[in-house]
Amino acid sequence: MASLLRGEPVAENVRRRIREKCEALQKKGVIPTLGIVRVGSRGNDIAYERGAVKQARALGVDVKRFLFDETVSIEDLRRTLEAINADPGIHGCLIFRPLPPHLDEMQLSGILRPEKDADVITAAAMGQMVTRTGNDFAPCTAAACLELLRYYRIPLKGKRVTVIGKGINVGLSIALLLLNEEATVSVCHIFTAPAEVRRLCREAEIIVSAAGCAGLIGAEHVRPGQIVIDVGVNTGADGKICGDADFSAVEPVVQAVTPVPGGVGAVTSCILMEHVVDAAVRSVQKPPQ
Ligand code: NAD
């Protein structure tokens, strides 16, 4: 039976760090503030926003919301992002995506200054992550995976890791972070032959799945001693939330596995808050020019 790598203790550890940093900031009269830009009213976005606001308040992080209906013009959104850039009272920003088709997402997100890009969606912030310059943010889900691996003291240096999925903010970013940790990383995607995915998974010491495909990892992908980090969030045939791993097949075999829900996802929103707080800390250290 595998040990469960639960996200909650990891999240609590991140929250403890955030509270300490917030206390130090408060003494300097700074309240870390997250700007949320939401266009439209998708249920998932609203649910995430509600959770983020609740979490922020509990931690002493303020939230300013910029809400638009679906017909917002590119100019209005541009002005908002420029105002966020110029506002020293907003330290980090989250933009819900995808934006409606009439808004050029790359162009708009590129307006945001990388030091305020709390979820690392801009090319500039991604570049800083790859080159390890500027702030050391990574997209929140990718950073949450690393946080979880570190918390459970899972060694990465020289370890063979197979990542499934190369979505820019999830799989690809996780692969890059793991390379930075000196792991030997293989990346599979939709065009990797299923037999090759199975082989690379079985060869790995750690499997990270970020495909968004329920049941993708079965008994034939795993062997004893492995660690499985399941980033996928899917709705199973029974209507319940599940990961990419067939939990009942994988869990009896491997050494440790993250549950879904209650694994990586539990850490992700805390990382967003920590990015905002870290951005506030940096703004105090180096006032904007
Ligand atoms: P995406 O669609 O951008 O990328 C999916 C990737 O998986 C692609 O590279 C695709 O080639 C690959 N893929 C899909 N099916 C595959 C298969 N059968 N075999 C091999 N590769 C396959 O999605 P994303 O935004 O990167 O998200 C990936 C997953 O992570 C989703 O389930 C999403 O819900 C989840 N997610 C979780 C969190 C969290 O906090 N836990 C946060 C964000 C996203």
CATH number for domain 138-263, candidates 3.40.50.720, 3.90.1010.10, 3.40.50.10490, 3.30.110.30 = 3.40.50.720
227 DSSP β-pair partners: 206, 256
Q: For 132, list phi and psi in degrees, rounded to 5.
A: 55, 50
pLDDT at 38 over 80: yes
Phi-psi label, residue 197: left if phi above 0, alpha if psi -120 to 50, beta otherwise: alpha
CA-144 nearest atom, ligand 1: 40
- Our answer on whether the CB atom of 208 is closer than 6 Å to any ligand 1 atom is no
- Our answer on whether the CB atom of 58 is closer than 6 Å to any ligand 1 atom is no
pLDDT at 8 over 80: yes
- Our answer on whether the CB atom of 167 is closer than 6 Å to any ligand 1 atom is yes
Which pLDDT does position 252 carry in this prediction? Answer: 98
Q: How far apart (Å, rounded) are the C-alpha atoms in residues 127 and 112?
A: 14
CA 175 to chain centre: 13
111 is an annotated ligand-binding site residue: no
CA 213 to chain centre: 18
CA-269 nearest atom, ligand 1: 40
In the structure encoding, which two tokens stand for residue 61, read together? 């992080």
> pTM (2 decimals)?
0.95
207 is an annotated ligand-binding site residue: no
Lowest mean pLDDT among 113-127, 146-160, 212-226: 113-127
CA 140 to chain centre: 2
- Our answer on whether the CB atom of 83 is closer than 6 Å to any ligand 1 atom is no
Q: How far apart (Å, rounded) are the C-alpha atoms in residues 235 and 35?
A: 30
240 is an annotated ligand-binding site residue: no
The SS3 call for residue 186 is: strand
Which pLDDT does position 36 carry in this prediction? Answer: 98
Give 149-185 pLDDT, tens digit per residue: 999 999 999 999 999 999 999 999 999 999 999 999 9
- Our answer on whether the CB atom of 216 is closer than 6 Å to any ligand 1 atom is yes
Which pLDDT does position 135 carry in this prediction? Answer: 78
Q: How far apart (Å, rounded) are the C-alpha atoms in residues 76 and 12?
A: 38
Mean pLDDT of all residues in 16-24: 96
Give 219-257 pLDDT, tens digit per residue: 999 999 999 999 999 999 999 999 999 999 999 999 999
Mean pLDDT of all residues in 5-18: 98
Please report how many Cα atoms fall inside a 13 Å half-sphere around the Cα of residue 51, on the Cβ side. Answer: 13
pLDDT at 287 over 60: no
The SS3 call for residue 210 is: coil
Residues in the chain: 289
Mean pLDDT of all residues in 64-73: 97
| CATH architecture group of domain 28-120 | 3-Layer(aba) Sandwich (3.40)
Which pLDDT does position 110 carry in this prediction? Answer: 87
% of residues, the chain, pLDDT over 70: 99
Omega cis (within 30) before 101: no
Which pLDDT does position 106 carry in this prediction? Answer: 85
Which helix (H) or strand (E) is 228 found in, with range?
strand 227-230
35 is an annotated ligand-binding site residue: no
pLDDT at 288 over 80: no
CATH 3.40.50.10860: which residues of the chain? 28-120
CATH 3.40.50.720: which residues of the chain? 138-263
DSSP characters for 60-80? T-EEEEEEE-TT--HHHHHHH
92 DSSP β-pair partners: 34
197 is an annotated ligand-binding site residue: no
Among 173, 189, 246, the mutation site with the greatest number of ligand 1 atoms within 8 A of its Cβ is: 189
- Binning pLDDT at 50, 70 and 90, where does residue 289 land? low
